[in-house]
Amino acid sequence: MLPKKAFKTGSTAPDPPAPGVLRLISSRFCPYAHRTRLVLAAKGIDYETVNVCLYKKPEWFFSINPLAKVPTLQHDGKVVYESLVCNEYLDRVFPGRKLLPEEPLEKARIGMLQAVWDAKCQPNLMKVSMSEGEERQKVFDALKEGLSFLEKHLATQSGKSFFGGDQPGILDYSIWPWFELIDLLLTDDDVKLQEVEFPELLAWRAAMFDRPEVQTCAFDMSVFAKYVATMRAGNPDPDIGLEDSN
């Protein structure tokens, strides 16, 4: 039985996964690892989890992934890392619902939306929670500019709730971890996403919350908030909320 607690600097590496077993090297509160957990759940793929501490990385992790970042997959001697690379790999090698379109322009469109998210939305979403006053308002406006692009895209997909169409696809899962955390990131009334400005995006968020794969993987918000408190105190605890026995 693998421990839930994070492997840290100085730890002994766990044995490699047994033949045929897919292992996710993860971190409980990492939104990038969350992307891959969502895809694993959406496709109904069995896997085991090894958690690592991202603040005190185990030495052995660097010999598996030179960037020592999560998510990293191990499977029968093969290693795959980088969240979007992992997700495309999983989608292509495992059976089940296809999450990434095959048609080249459709696939390019997902890449372009992802690029807008990466450039305009994600960094500003993080910055809103760390800035104040006028600066915060400026960052929030920049965030909304990026989100408007996603809003417009959803509006062109008449009657389809998700970026993937009738069901979530690879982009829905790749941006979801930050949307799931949005109430932690946008805490005050002056930096809320308003229904009148983002009707499509807020309907998408509600529809995502209803999905079983999203519920299965959901961050426990009360535990997440405690984790953020340890982070802000300069001593992030990746094991917070776990029983001693784990």
Q: Which residues are catalytic?
A: 30
Question: Per rule CB under 8 A, is residue 66 in the interface with a second copy?
Answer: yes
Contacts with a second copy: how many residues (CB under 8 A)?
A: 24
CA 88/CA 82 separation, integer angstroms: 10
Question: Per rule CB under 8 A, is residue 155 in the interface with a second copy?
Answer: no
Q: Tell me if 78 sits within 8 A of 17, measured CB to CB.
A: no
Which amino acid is residue 134, in one-letter code?
E
Contact pick of 43, 56, 107, 127 for a second copy (by CB under 8 A): 107
Question: Per rule CB under 8 A, is residue 143 in the interface with a second copy?
Answer: no
Question: Per rule CB under 8 A, is residue 199 in the interface with a second copy?
Answer: no
Question: Per rule CB under 8 A, is residue 96 in the interface with a second copy?
Answer: no
Question: Per rule CB under 8 A, is residue 200 in the interface with a second copy?
Answer: no
Contact pick of 112, 155, 203, 229 for a second copy (by CB under 8 A): 112
CA 109/CA 130 separation, integer angstroms: 31
Nearest to 21 by CA among 78, 92, 83, 96: 78
Contact pick of 23, 120, 144, 211 for a second copy (by CB under 8 A): 120
Nearer to a second copy, 101 or 241 (CB): 101
Smallest separation, CB 227 to a second copy (Å): 25
Question: Per rule CB under 8 A, is residue 149 in the interface with a second copy?
Answer: yes
Q: Tell me if 181 sits within 8 A of 224, measured CB to CB.
A: yes
Nearest to 86 by CA among 35, 45, 42, 44: 35
Peptide bond into 71 cis (omega under 30): yes
CA 202/CA 141 separation, integer angstroms: 17
Footprint of a second copy (CB under 8 A)? 66-67, 78, 80-82, 84-86, 88-89, 92-93, 104-105, 107-108, 111-112, 115-116, 119-120, 149
